[in-house]
Amino acid sequence: MKRKETALLWIKRAESNLARASAGKTDERILFEDLCFDCQQAVEKSLKALLVLHNREAVITHSIGLLLSNVSDLDIEIPEFINASVILTDYAVQTRYPGFYEPVTNEEYQNALQVATPVVEWITKIIQNS
């Protein structure tokens, strides 16, 4: 499979996570923790898409920081808002297991969504225009 096709598959998954996160708390059974996990996953998969597009390995990790480090080696200018997404890493593991965190608030969820959305949009444009 070609790099762009594979990158588009990663973006499709990222957009799915972002769509679920964007739908919000439509039911009292939905937890802000899970919506924030979807925000983290959207960014993680987007960054992996960018790496794949540039013929780099999509490292198996939930660490946004590690992925950003790998992306910084690419020959593209990375906007500062991309680097700000490192704050989403905690939503990958800690908040998914009861008792290891303080409950996530609506404000934290809204912030996670505001961080994740432009990252996915920026990387999607790069891949579509490649």
Tokens for 68?
């950003």
Q: Tell me, what's the pLDDT at 96?
A: 80
Place 95 in a pLDDT band, splitting at 50, 70 and 90: confident
pLDDT tens for residues 66-75? 999 999 999 8
Query: What value does the mean pLDDT take over residues 71-87?
Result: 94
CATH 1.20.120.330 fits 3-128, yes or no: yes
Q: How many Cβ atoms from other residues are within 10 Å of residue 123's Cβ?
A: 25
pTM exceeds 0.85: yes
Q: What count of residues does the chain have?
A: 130
Cβ atoms of 93 and 62 within 8 Å: the answer is yes
